[in-house]
Amino acid sequence: MMEEAWETLLKSYVYYKGLPVGTLAAMNPTAEALNYNQVFVRDFVPRGLACLMRPASAGGDPEIVKNFVLKTLHLQDWEKRIVNFTLGEGVMPASFKVLYDSHRQRETLVADFGGSAIGMVAPVDSGFWWIILLRSYTKCTHHYTLSEMPEVQRGMKLILNLCLSDGFDTFPTLLCADGCSMIDRRMGIYGYPIEIHAHFYFALRYSRQMLKPERDGKELIKRIDKRITAISYHSEITTGLISHN
C-alpha cells in the first residue's frame, strides 16, 4: 500500500520549466471542474513532509519542497484580487497552476488567492503552512541558507506583519472553524479554536527560530514572543475545557 501511494504521489508531480514545484490536489476526471487540478498550498504540505522524510535512495525528494517554497514566495509579490478587491501584502496564494503561454511560447504560473475557492475566502492559513514547511525543510536537510535568503526573510516578515497586525485575532477568515458558536457570542472564544491555536502557534515558533534579528527583525521577534505567550495561555484554557467536557 505504501509503495502504491508513493507511485501515485510521483504521478501527481507538477513541473515548471523542467523542475518539480508541487503536486496536483487530486487526480481524477472531475479535478479540473472542481479546481483541484492545481497545486494547493495546504494540500502540498503533508506531501512535502513525506518527500522530506523518505530517504533519497527510496525516492525522497527535498528539491520539490525547496522549489515549492521559492515559487510560492514569488507569487506572494503578485497583485492579489478577489472580486475586484485587492488583498494586502503578505497573503500567500491558495493554489497555483502551470499554463503554457502559446503567444510567448513559454510556461507561466497562474496563482489563485481565493477567488476560485468555495466562498471566495482569502487563504490566511497559506502563509502559516509556508512557514511550517520552510522550517521543516531546513531542519531536515540542514540547508539553512534557504531561510537566510533576503527574499525568504522578506516574505516571512510580510506574513508576520499581516498576522500580528491589530484586529487579525478576530478576522472571520482566521476564526471560521469556530463560526458554529458565533450566534450568541463572539467568534474569538478563548483566543482560537484548538486547531487554529496549534497552527498559529507553530508558525510563530518556527518564525522565531528562522527570523534574523536585523533591522526590523528585532521588533518582530518581540511581537512574536508577546503573541506566543498569549496563545500559550489560551491553549491551556482551551485544552482544560476540552478535558473537562
Give the structural domain span for 219: 164-245
The number of residues making up the chain comes to 245
Q: Please indicate, yes or no, whether residues 67 and 184 belong to a single structural domain of this protein.
A: no
Domains of the chain: total: 2
Q: Please indicate, yes or no, whether residues 35 and 117 belong to a single structural domain of this protein.
A: yes
Report d(CA 94, CA 127) in Å as an integer.
9
Report d(CA 178, CA 181) in Å as an integer.
6
| Ordered per-residue pLDDT tens for the chain, 245 residues | 888 989 999 999 999 999 999 999 888 766 566 678 899 998 999 999 999 998 877 777 999 999 999 999 998 876 655 555 556 677 888 899 998 888 888 898 988 887 776 556 666 788 999 999 999 999 999 999 999 999 999 999 989 988 887 766 555 455 444 444 444 444 444 455 566 778 888 999 999 999 998 877 788 999 999 888 877 776 664 455 444 44
85 part of a folded domain: yes
Q: Where a domain ends, among 81, 107, 129?
A: 129
149 part of a folded domain: no
What's residue 114's pLDDT? Answer: 74
- Of 44, 22, 24, 47, nearest to 35 (Cα)? 24
What's residue 179's pLDDT? Answer: 45
What's residue 206's pLDDT? Answer: 95
Q: Are 100 and 14 in contact (CB under 8 A)?
A: no
Q: Where would I find the beta strands (DSSP E) of 57-101?
A: 81-82, 85-86, 95-101
What's residue 244's pLDDT? Answer: 42
Q: Please indicate, yes or no, whether residues 90 and 14 belong to a single structural domain of this protein.
A: yes
Residue 218 neighbours by CB under 8 Å, 6+ apart: none
